Amino acid sequence: MDADARCFRVALVAGELLNAAEGRVDAMAVLQAEEWGAIQLPAAEYPDEVAGPLLEQVAEQVEEFARHGYTLAVVGGRPGLDEALARVGVAAPPAFDPDTADELVAFLKETCR
């Protein structure tokens, strides 16, 4: 088996930032360059009955990363995320809603310190 290349850093990212909506930061490009993995948060367009079960899954996965000491950050966020994380016993990670790619880079670097 090959050497494992994982980065041990996971960003929870608003769907609108991962898919680079017009005028928003292209978080995918920044995360690739900065070598972070991503967990996508449900986009705001999804109604609560669709977003809720997806957020539940996000929380369960984040709990596993938190349990193993991975660095976590929230980019953009999503209503209901903090509550979903609390239900699995995970404190809300550092969060930031960037206006520019440079701001996002600085936030990610700061989170890793």
Partner 1 sequence: MPGVAFVAHCLLNQNSKTHGGARCPGIYSPLVEELRDAGWRLEQMPCPELAFTGLHRFWAVKEQLDTSAYRRHCRRIAAAVAGAIEVHVRRGDDVIIVGIEGSPSMGVHITSSDPDRGGRPEWPDGAGELSPGSGIFMEEIVAELTERGIEAPRAMGISHQLPGHDPEAERAALRDLMEAS
The residue ranges that bind partner 1 (CB under 8 A) are 1-10, 15, 18-20, 28, 31-32, 35-40, 42, 45-47, 49-50, 53-54, 56-58, 60-61, 63-65, 67-68, 70
Which amino acid is it at 96? F
How near is the Cβ of 36 to partner 1 at its closest, in Å?
5
Contact (Cβ atoms closer than 8 angstroms) between residue 40 and residue 18: yes
How near is the Cβ of 16 to partner 1 at its closest, in Å?
10
Tokens 């930061």, residue located: 25
For partner 1, the closer CB: 60 or 82: 60
Contact (Cβ atoms closer than 8 angstroms) between residue 54 and residue 62: no
Over the range 81-104, which residues count as b (16 or more CB within 10 Å of their CB) and which as e? Answer: bbebbeebebeebebbebeeeeeb
How near is the Cβ of 95 to partner 1 at its closest, in Å?
18
